[in-house]
Amino acid sequence: MTYLWVALGSALGGAARYGCAGLAARWFGASFPWGTLVINVSGSLLIGFLATLMSPDGRLLATLKQGAMFEVFDLASGRSVAQLRNSTTVAHGVAVSPDSRYAFVSSEGVGAAPGKVDVYDLRALAKAGTVDVGQQASGIAFWKMGAPR
């Protein structure tokens, strides 16, 4: 299955690079490969964006929705498997844990209320808990801690 995704990505990237290179050459001249630059930068940004939303095991995609909702998609079927309500209406970001077990949604506080981080169990497809944080909650990041030396 991995080979299929690599082949699909290569085909889409090659076609986009070819088309963009032709447009850029007509607009700016052929002295510099502007099309390749634009496709490489935009493709890298897109892959980085999708990597933050997709579970590391590649099975699920976590997204924020309007109306204080969080949605989980099964990538194999392309279907929504859960729509869950956030604690506040001002969600900023979503991150999936390195073990693909939990999704964390950061939300800004409304009025004088604190911001919140909602924790969703991706196996049970249910909210596992909520933690109050600073009023202007934003991104969440994970990193691997090594053993002390």
**Structure confidence by residue, pLDDT tens digits, 1-37:** 677 878 887 888 778 778 877 888 888 887 887 777 7
59-100 tens-digit pLDDT:
888 888 777 888 888 888 888 898 888 888 877 788 888 888
pTM exceeds cut of 0.75? no
d(CA 148, CA 145): 9
Single-letter residue type at 143:
W
Give the number of other Cβ atoms within 10 Å of residue 55's Cβ. Answer: 20
